[in-house]
Amino acid sequence: MEVIKGGLCAVKGVRAYGIKEGNKGLALIEGEGKASGMYTTNKIKAAPVRFTKKQLEKGRISAIIANSGCANSFTGERGMRNAEKMAELASSFLGVDKEEVAVLSTGPIGAQLDMGLIEGQLGEVVKGLTSGAEGSTAAAKAIMTTDTFHKETAISIDTGNDERVVIGGIVKGSGMIAPHMTTATMLAFIYTDASLDDEVLNGSLKDAVENSFNMTVVDGDMSTNDTVLLVATGKSGKISEADFKAGLTFVCQELAKLIARDGEGATKFIEVRVKGAPSIADAREVARSIVRSPLVKSAIFGERPDLVCGRIIAAIGSSVIAEDGSFSGISIRLKGEKEVLAVKNGEFLDLSDSERTVMKGEEIFIDVDMGTGVEAEATAWGCDLTYDYVRINASMH
């Protein structure tokens, strides 16, 4: 496995481009193939989510059109008609089947789309479609909202016999990030040129999302628009299921970590690894509880390891897996510019002044051992909670 440049456009059979005008952007990705999707479990799903979910029932798409600056969420029948109109426009401009166009939106909830603007932008975007790396970057920038940088990655996997398979993706997300998919908003578009069976495509996406985007928390709020789409163009050879799953999970985790690093107002990236839980599901729940806790996040912002550990303990105890009983085996290790064992076998250790500098730095790693002796573990990613998060969300749009 090798990290390469080019994002989506490193994948054979994919062209992309996008433009941004103020806070209104439009991205277009062209690439035909088998498709799988996962979507927000928010009970109020945006029109484009409901529309795209129906579009993918046949298991193929030829293009993705996505706008930023308006979520087209809670917009009634007009919102559904506008989502369909976006698909019709992309179909007309590209000469592809309307039934094979996915539509996504991100931005404020409750506003109707400016279809005149979208049609005008689409004409410009189509002219710029390219299989060059700049196409992926332009598309990634076009769907940004409160993001401070665009997010893309790609890898190449050697399948033997001098053949390679590429997996590339872009994602947007900075706030309103607490995805939970059985699948402002998280949108991820991932392409591969591997030739895959439907079962492998669907199963691989489900596993990868569960171990990446679903383990990323910025603020604990679930969007109405969260969507992850995976498209396989089949332009390269076969790849083993194990190798593809490993590659797809890597790509999704790299994109998820970029979201956490770009959390609204964030100054610190947080990684929480929990091991020794009764099961993998329990480990995931504990890890998410820790990165989701406003008290843990604010203590990390304040660089207070003495406060962080107590709040981690509270988060563990409030997780759904917690049962009355002994937690005497819990140990917590903190790592920033320095590393320190802060809790050992259920007892808080004294932190000297020098050890308290452990919370300084832009990356904070928290290792929690539940002390059960079981090998189950999980990792979650997030960021600190700062004054700027409140400022951004009190004044945006």
Same domain, 145 and 10: yes
Same domain, 345 and 237: no
- Helical residues (DSSP H) of 211-339, grouped into ranges: 241-261, 280-292, 294-301, 305-318
Same domain, 114 and 85: yes
Same domain, 119 and 257: yes
Same domain, 280 and 252: no
Same domain, 307 and 231: no
Same domain, 222 and 323: no
Residue after which a domain boundary falls, among 222, 240, 261 = 261
* Long-range own/partner contacts, residues 117-121 (CB < 8 A, 24 or more apart): 117/21, 117/24, 118/26, 118/67, 118/86, 118/89, 119/89, 121/19, 121/21, 121/24, 121/25, 121/26
- Going from the C-alpha of 345 to that of each of 308, 370, 374, 376, 390, the distances in angstroms are 17, 9, 15, 18, 37
Same domain, 196 and 225: yes
- Helical residues (DSSP H) of 302-397, grouped into ranges: 305-318, 387-395
Q: What is the DSSP string of 241-254?
A: HHHHHHHHHHHHHH
Same domain, 201 and 157: yes
> Which residues participate in catalysis according to the annotation?
185
Which CATH number covers residue 315? 3.10.20.340
Q: How far is the C-alpha of 210 from the C-alpha of 223, rounded, in Å?
A: 17
Count structural domains, the chain: 2
Angle at CA of residue 114, ends 30 and 29, nearest 5°: 10
pLDDT for position 321: 66
> Which pTM was predicted?
0.92
Same domain, 278 and 247: no
Residue after which a domain boundary falls, among 261, 294, 327 = 261
What residues make up the domain containing 354?
A: 269-395
Residue after which a domain boundary falls, among 202, 236, 261 = 261
Which CATH number covers residue 92? 3.60.70.12
The set of residues, in sequence order, having a beta carbon less than 8 Å from that of 205 and lying 6+ positions away, is 36, 37, 38, 228, 230, 248
Same domain, 277 and 139: no
pLDDT string in tens for the chain (397-residue length): 999 999 999 999 999 999 999 999 999 999 999 999 999 988 999 999 999 999 999 999 999 999 999 999 999 999 999 999 999 999 999 999 999 999 999 999 999 999 999 999 999 999 999 999 999 999 999 999 889 999 999 999 999 878 899 999 999 986 544 455 443 468 999 999 999 999 999 999 999 999 999 999 876 567 889 999 999 999 998 999 999 999 999 999 999 999 999 988 889 999 999 999 988 999 999 999 999 999 999 999 999 988 999 999 999 988 766 555 567 889 999 999 889 999 999 999 988 776 778 889 999 999 999 988 888 999 999 999 998 888 877 765 4
Q: How far is the C-alpha of 211 from the C-alpha of 215, rounded, in Å?
A: 6
pLDDT tens per residue across span 195-219:
999 999 999 999 999 999 999 987 6
Same domain, 131 and 249: yes
- Going from the C-alpha of 373 to that of each of 93, 258, 377, the distances in angstroms are 59, 32, 11
